[in-house]
Amino acid sequence: MAFCFGEPSRTFSEYLLVPGYSSKECRPENVSLRTPVVKYKKGEDAKIIMNVPLVSAIMQAVSDDRMAVALAKEGGISFIFASQPVESQAAMIRRVKSHKAGFVRSDSNIRPDQTLADIVALKEKSGHSTVAVTEDGTPEGRIVGLVTSRSYRVSRMAADTQVSQFMTPFSDLIYAEDGITLSEANDMLWDRKLNALPIIDKNQRLTHFVFRKDYDSHKENPDEFLDEDKRYRVGAGVNTRDYRERIPALVEAGADVLCIDSSEGYSEWQKDTIAFVRETYGDDVKIGAGNVVEKEGFRFLAEAGADFVKVGIGGGSICITREQKGIGRGQATAILDVAQARNDYFKETGIYIPVCSDGGIVYDYHMTLALAMGADFLMLGRYFSRFDESPTGKMNINGNYVKEYWGEGSNRARNWQRYDMGGEGRLSFEEGVDSYVPYAGSLKDNVNLSLSKVRSTMCNCGVLDIPALQKDAKLTLVSATSIVEGGAHDVILKEQASTVR
């Protein structure tokens, strides 16, 4: 008969943290959320240490270059999705590494022969009111004008009015030449009373914008995640199929860390991929592996040479692997089991291999629980997909703003490369769904709110950093009744009062 674990597998919602003694030093501003991304030897520091324990998932609907820049500003790292051609993934990596703080690449562009209706649709999709008018409607085209919210009035103009009739033409634009410093650009913004300053190269092509609204934000990112050359850090997903071509291209583009994107990582395919990296680059290139849900899987990937191990199967909001295949494990149980294996491996070898919790985060407090259970950092998909910076467009459905969100195992993504079973290159059946998530606004505002809750909870536990949380936290299982007790109960909420007769 099959081996059967004695205890049921549990989710984060089945646990609570028990407060510990808090000294006067336990204040949120004193909490450090720095955490290692890659393995290191006892007595040494990891080569890559994040300032906050958040990474964005290797998904089409989550992690592109725009998300990578936004998350790096807050101290985390994005893993650019691998289910795209090697060339386009490498181009995203290069854009992140070449991004200049304060200089924003235009992602809202239009042709002069398009219409006011197109402008309105573009603004609805991107949320941006400043639109570059280029000859071919691409960011690389020659700029011929600019449209801002002051350029038109929807109520007074026909929807088919051509952009060329109401844009500010290039001859009337105030712009700066490529090569200007951010300080000089900001001076121009204030001296000329501008909201946006286009940066133009010698061929009349728009390279960047500098916005007045961003002036203060450049001083508000003390946790920026930067490399030795003051460039933003960025990760990249890879698969076990075309890694011999993809990995060299991503390394050449400047990726700081790689991660194998797979639904299940306890496989010879992953061992071969890691071996290729070690044989080709030694320890200079960092690569994480996974996903696993128990000790044996962790040990296998650790001995294969993984720089970190990702934990979780079937716990993602758009993942249906458990109902399709009947494999997986409750995320809380999986993290506790793998973290214990990580600690045992560290005692035996003196090598600490960080653990990444992937999936199962529904509420902000689940972040703190996952860290207390042993995760060094968290990979989030649904959480980041809701923000302005995710690759998908904002939509209005039944009066509510949403963003599209789909799994890599869905028919929409068709990411068959992440299923390590050899065979022909196609998706036999879906392991993910196509869905919507409620629109939540900017990444910065939401991440700051979530992490303020994490810091506050850590203070309640009497700890000031993640290692102390893992060492000293006390967890308790909760009953179904106590879960009900933990929310608002036996009262009439004010927003519901209007429906009470």
Active site residues: 319, 418
Provide CB contacts within 8 A for 363, sequence distance 6+.
Answer: 13
Give the burial class of 1: count Cβ atoms within 10 A of its Cβ; 0-12 exposed, 13-18 middle, 19 or more buried: exposed
Task: For residue 367, give both structure tokens.
Answer: 């972040």
Task: For residue 330, give both structure tokens.
Answer: 């409750």
SS3 162: strand
Provide CB contacts within 8 A for 452, sequence distance 6+.
Answer: 28
Distance CA 274, CA 187 (A): 49
269: left (phi over 0), alpha (psi -120 to 50) or beta: alpha
SS3 482: helix
CB 269 within 8 A of CB 420: yes
CB 377 within 8 A of CB 463: no
CB 283 within 8 A of CB 303: no
Dihedral over alpha carbons 58, 75, 12, 332 (to 10 degrees)? 70
Task: For residue 6, give both structure tokens.
Answer: 């004695």
Task: For residue 68, give both structure tokens.
Answer: 């990578």
Q: What are phi and psi of 391, to 5 degrees?
A: -70, -15
Q: What are phi and psi of 165, to 5 degrees?
A: -85, -20
The angle, 0 to 180 degrees and rounded to 10, between the axes of the packed helices 243-253 and 268-281 is 50
Q: What are phi and psi of 115, to 5 degrees?
A: -120, 170
